[in-house]
Structure 1
Amino acid sequence: MLSRVADSIYWMSRYVERAENVARFIDVNLNLSLDVGPEMERHWDPLIYTTGDHADFQKRYPEGTQQNVIHFLTFDTENPNSILCCLRTARENARTVRDMISSTMWEELNKFFLLVKTASQPQVLGSPFDFFAQIKLSAYTLDGAVQSTLSHNEAWHFHRMGQLIERADKTSR
């Protein structure tokens, strides 16, 4: 396997895993806000620190409100770790190795990317639980497509390695 192919598959899986992890972080905070109530506003800043993006966030946003944090972590095109940017980069990596991945993987990744790209911020803020549940479900669907349709050869191992390294990184945070 060429190192270019291995690199693209590795980073594709890392970025998909990162997008799903960020969605899970936001979902946990949203569920916490149901219990905590109005005091929850001060609990959005730690989410930015957890993702390691606090320096970039502070440059562009005056305070860590729910709306600012959700926009920054989901749609901000200047944040390379936003869900939208992660999926765009994963899709670009998949495009470069299109002949090595299955059609099902490619289609599911495209659907996943388009789900986030076509969502509007007012729509998400109006129904955030549904939106982030859809993101997690799309990630699970894509992972199922990978497990079912990608040959369990070197490409699969690089996919798994990227996925598990990203998972370990987020778990350590």
Structure 2
Amino acid sequence: MNIYIKEISNDLFLITSKMITDLMNYHRELNNAPREYWQTDEQSQETLRYWIEEGIVYNIFLDNEPVGFFYIKFGGQDVAWLQDLFIIEQYRNKGIGKYAMQKLDELMVEKKVVALFVDVIPRNTGAIKLYSDFGFDHLNLIQLRKNYDKNLDKDEDIEILGFNFKKY
């Protein structure tokens, strides 16, 4: 199994934008968002154009086939943000995400990044485990949400720092 990463090239633009559609709609599905809010391929193409201008997109390959991507954005004070990491569903749980994280760590060291941040939807426990396994062990920020549309409320509770919230 030959896994490697490479900065996005023009010939992978449409394939990667389709993966962005899958990623965004996976998140919307996790949150039970109505279909009217799901992302289209055209919106994903716009997103990818923006990402390429604002950061760096790397494709993840398995035996020369693109099976995922990650998007990194750099900021001041030598820090970076892992904005998104995506592996096509049929390739998940095969070690590809772990390999991508190892390559990401190497890139961050090479670029002399002092800290890497990532945001995770609390329901995405697979991602939380992956990031935790790769040393993301500092709680940096908590984002709270108030729903005015009660149809968006969740039933599952989570306790954080002595407070009870709905797990979104």
TM-score, scaled relative to structure 2: 0.30
TM-score, scaled relative to structure 1: 0.29
Q: Which has the higher contact order (CA 8 A, sep 6+)?
A: 1
| Structure richer in helix, relative to its length | 1
